[in-house]
């Protein structure tokens, strides 16, 4: 009895003029095998399956190498560290320069920023200066230890907490009508309805528009006849939500304090301190930021045991060609 292929056989088939099945040895049939129509059909199906699989893998590699498509449009790749160090990403400096006019908290013992020469090129062949400043002057960071005992000082803040996604909640509209306005929980919910949930580990910034008064210190403090300060801030309810539900690393804004000027017990400072989060105050250029899609680099002076310190804050934006 003739040996058959293990593939299910039907009627014998030999190519015309071949004199047998020997013409199919290249397909894996040995001499003496009976080539049937079923053998051939099954083998062709197997070949097509292998070709389809190989083609699918090649297609997948091509897609992986190409820029992704979203709604039929090309979407730029996410920015990389190479883009950042190569100068291809826009960077916004959110800090004010330090000088004798820099605004500081109007408390007892606070003094203006001071800068003096200790060496000059003409006299010493080198330029060098000395400065003195309160911790909480100009653009600065409030460490958790600012209002809470036993909490982190500025030098002990984890390095990773100083790099974070950023969002900007714009409350400049209501602040125009009420200088004592506070970022409310409703403002946060409205923001998330428009822009999606605030990323966990973000720093939430409030743009109040108050920075337009920065170069007019009396207007920036906005004292009334009794000496009471008037400027906007965050509400305790909003910050409590951001800490508990969004695990934010900190909050910041373009005024003297994360608590509004009218505050006497500073609940936002206490909430941030107890939760080991930080506050950023006297920020600049928040109007140049998008609501979402940027990263923050927060660089406070590393003052040992410090309750805060002058801080350089940078916002790193997606490239102009990005859809972020």
All structural domains of the chain with their residue ranges: 1-66, 81-316
Two tokens at 120? Answer: 């000059």
Q: Give the largest CA-CA distance in the chain.
A: 116
> Would you say how long the chain is, in residues?
324
Rounded distance between C-alpha atoms, residue 24 and residue 37, angstroms: 12
Q: How far is CA 15 from the centre of its chain?
A: 69
Q: What is the predicted pLDDT for the residue at 78?
A: 77
Rounded distance between C-alpha atoms, residue 272 and residue 253, angstroms: 14
Q: What is the predicted pLDDT for the residue at 100?
A: 96
Q: φ and ψ at 223, to 5 degrees? A: -80, 145
Rounded distance between C-alpha atoms, residue 212 and residue 208, angstroms: 10
CB count within 10 Å of CB 220 equals 19
Architecture of domain 81-316: 3-Layer(bba) Sandwich (3.50)
Task: Give the ranges where 236-291 is alpha helix by DSSP (H).
Answer: 236-246, 267-274
Rounded distance between C-alpha atoms, residue 63 and residue 52, angstroms: 16
3-state SS record for 128-174: EEEEECCCCECCEEECHHHCCCCCCCHHHCCHHHHEEEEEEEECHHH
Contact 154, 309 (CB under 8 A): yes
Instruction: Show the low-confidence residues of the chain (pLDDT under 70).
Output: 1-76, 320-324
Rounded distance between C-alpha atoms, residue 102 and residue 104, angstroms: 6
Q: What is the predicted pLDDT for the residue at 79?
A: 83
Q: Provide the 3-class DSSP secondary structure of residue 302.
A: coil
Q: What is the predicted pLDDT for the residue at 228?
A: 97
Q: What is the predicted pLDDT for the residue at 319?
A: 75
Rounded distance between C-alpha atoms, residue 300 and residue 280, angstroms: 10
Q: 254 Cβ partners below 8 Å, 6+ apart?
A: 206, 207, 208, 209, 210, 211, 282, 283, 284, 286
Placement of tokens 């006299």 in the chain: 123
| Triad 135, 274, 292: Cα angle to 5° | 75
CB count within 10 Å of CB 285 equals 16
Alpha carbon distances (Å) from 226 to 149, 165, 184, 213, 261? 31, 40, 27, 21, 13
DSSP letter for 35, please. P
How large is the angle between the packed helices 267-274 and 236-246, nearest 10 degrees? 20
């Amino acid at each position: 009895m003739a040996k058959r292929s293990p593939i299910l056989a039907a009627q014998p088939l030999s190519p015309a003029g071949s004199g047998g099945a020997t013409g199919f040895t290249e397909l894996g049939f040995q001499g003496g095998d009976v080539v049937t129509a079923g053998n051939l059909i099954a083998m062709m199906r197997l070949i097509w399956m292998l070709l389809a699989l190989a083609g699918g893998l090649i297609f997948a590699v091509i897609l992986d190498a190409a820029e992704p498509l979203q709604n039929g449009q090309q979407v730029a790749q996410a920015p990389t560290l190479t883009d950042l160090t190569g100068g291809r990403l826009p960077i916004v400096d959110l800090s004010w320069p330090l000088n004798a006019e820099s605004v500081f908290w109007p408390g007892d013992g606070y003094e203006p920023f001071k800068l003096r020469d200790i060496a000059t090129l003409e006299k010493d062949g080198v330029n060098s200066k000395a400065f003195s400043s309160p911790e909480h002057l100009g653009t600065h960071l409030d460490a958790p230890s600012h209002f809470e005992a036993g909490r982190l000082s500025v030098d002990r803040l984890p390095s990773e907490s100083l790099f974070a996604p950023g969002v900007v909640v714009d409350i400049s509209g209501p602040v125009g009508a009420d200088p004592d306005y506070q970022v409310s929980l409703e403002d946060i919910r409205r923001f998330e309805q428009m822009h999606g949930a605030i990323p966990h580990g973000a720093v939430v910034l409030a743009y109040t528009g108050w920075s337009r008064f920065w170069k007019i210190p009396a207007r920036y403090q906005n004292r009334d006849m009794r000496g009471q300060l008037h400027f906007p801030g965050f509400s305790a309810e909003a910050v409590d939500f951001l800490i508990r539900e969004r695990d934010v690393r900190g909050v910041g804004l373009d005024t003297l304090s994360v608590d509004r000027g009218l505050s006497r017990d500073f609940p936002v400072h206490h909430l941030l301190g107890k939760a080991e989060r930080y506050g950023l105050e006297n920020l600049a250029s928040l109007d140049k930021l998008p609501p979402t899609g940027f990263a923050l680099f927060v660089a406070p002076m590393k003052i040992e045991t410090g309750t805060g310190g002058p801080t350089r804050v940078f916002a790193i934006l997606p490239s102009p060609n990005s859809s972020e």
